Amino acid sequence: MQRIERYIEAATRDNTRRGYRAAIRHYEETWGGLLPATAESVARYLADHAEQLALNTLRLHLAALARWHRDQGFPDPTKAPVVRQVMRGITELHPAREHQARALRLEDLVRVDAMLETRIRTGGLAEALRARRDRALLLVGFWRAFRGDELLRLAVEDVRQEHDGGLLIRLARTKTSHGESRDYPLPRLSRLCPVTAYADWVGCAGIERGAVFRGIDRWGRVREQGLHPNSLIPLLRRLLEEAGVADAASYSAHSLRRGFASWASASQWQLRELMDYVGWRDARSALRYIERAAPRLGGRIERALAAPEDASG
């Protein structure tokens, strides 16, 4: 039985498990629901929170309740007709509004990188070391279009030097890999180089195994544990704000992924090429990350304005 539970646990991502636990606490402690639940109580719970919680959050809470009942051997109340009808009504009256992270533009990445390079050259021990870590995190995250959790799960053992000077990163599990390991090449670049930034950080921090991206205390001592997942967004926003990037609060960990996808699209990458590089299996997933229309439309208008007028006009 323990072996079965271990495999079931491995099938659920850490972020999903945390979300499920929080959802169950919300149902029991915040709302006062009882477990096992009835279909009627789940329907009331949904109705009570229809205007307070986002549609995707309600779906997550339903999934958590369904999982709890399956794990405990009880009938799943979330599949009852009344629950399905309530969810359909909520979807109709409160349609989801898609909130996407703002894409990090290459010029803003250049601005942050220049700030960090200055800190590496002129800062004290702790400040320079932190700047090396942040620079490696940003450049690896951007050029490899990693999700935040993938970036923070990265271990030194996952990274291998290649003959061409680049790196090969093996991720044991991603959101789309279905449990399979996948190798991600990371090229050496002439500027904004993620390979150089990675080697500089790992070498100066003396990291030989374990998490690549770690906390650093005020005295410049590198911690053994990796950065907490909740620390990535505040870290990114702080760097952007300090570099003078406007509206830093609108960026998130997905901004690196969206930024690369938008840059690649603007650089004439084919959609299939981009999907293969990032690891997307569904074209719709890729298209959600690409900000293409506005920049290209602006360029087309500018080119049209610059063209000489038709003499016959």
CA distance 219 to 66: 47
Residue 10 lies in a domain: yes
SS3 167: strand
Residue 111 inside a domain? The answer is yes
Q: What is the mean pLDDT of residues 117-135?
A: 95
- Domain end point (choices 44, 68, 93): 93
Number of domains in the chain: 2
85/224 same-domain check: no
Asked if residue 309 belongs to a domain, the reply is no
Q: Render pLDDT for 255-301 as a digit per residue (tens, 0 to 9).
A: 999 899 888 888 888 888 888 888 877 777 667 666 543 344 334 33
Picking from 93, 126, 146, the residue at the C-terminal end of a domain is 93
Whether 8 and 123 map to the same domain: the answer is no
End-to-end CA distance of the chain: 82
- Partnered with residue 216 across adjacent β-strands are 222
Domain assignment present for residue 302? The answer is no
Q: Is the domain of 82 the same as that of 212? A: no
Q: Long-range CB contacts (< 8 A, 24+ apart) of 28-35?
A: 35/68, 35/72
Residue showing tokens 């969810």: 87
d(CA 70, CA 282): 29
Distance CA 24, CA 58 (A): 12
192: its two tokens: 């904004």
Give me the pLDDT at residue 100, please: 66
Q: Are residues 76 and 129 in the same domain?
A: no
Q: Examine the domain organization and report whether 82 and 164 are in the same domain.
A: no
% of residues, the chain, pLDDT over 90: 50
For residues 35 and 111, membership in a common domain is answered with no
Most confident option among 54-63, 90-99, 210-219: 210-219
Do residues 295 and 266 touch, judged by C-beta distance below 8 A? Answer: yes
Out of 68, 93, 118, a domain closes at 93
Q: How far is CA 167 from the centre of its chain?
A: 21
Average pLDDT value for residue range 147-164 = 90
Residue 53 CB partners (closer than 8 Å, separation 6+): 61
**Which residues are CB-contacts of 39 (< 8 A; sequence separation ≥ 6)?**
77, 78, 80, 82, 83
Evaluate whether residue 20 is within a structural domain: yes
Whether residues 85 and 158 share a domain: the answer is: no
* 244 and 119 both lie in a single domain: yes
pLDDT of residue 301: 35
pLDDT tens digits for range 163-214: 888 899 998 755 554 556 788 988 899 889 999 999 999 999 999 999 999 9
Domain membership flag for residue 276: yes
Mean of all residue pLDDT scores within the chain: 83
Domain containing 43 equals 2-93
CB atoms within 10 A of CB 151: 23
The stretches of 145-222 forming alpha helices (DSSP H) are 148-153, 194-205
Q: Are residues 139 and 192 in the same domain?
A: yes
Same domain, residue pair 130 and 215: yes
Tell me whether residue 291 is in a domain: yes
Q: Is the preceding omega at residue 36 within 30 degrees of 0, hence cis?
A: yes
CATH number of the domain at 263, please. Answer: 1.10.443.10
58 plus 122 within the same structural domain: no
- Decide the pairing of beta strands 222-226 and 167-171: unpaired
78 plus 128 within the same structural domain: no
* Residue 89 clears pLDDT 60, i.e. is over it: yes
- Examine the pLDDT at 310 and tell me if it is beyond 80: no
The reply to whether 225 falls in a domain is: yes
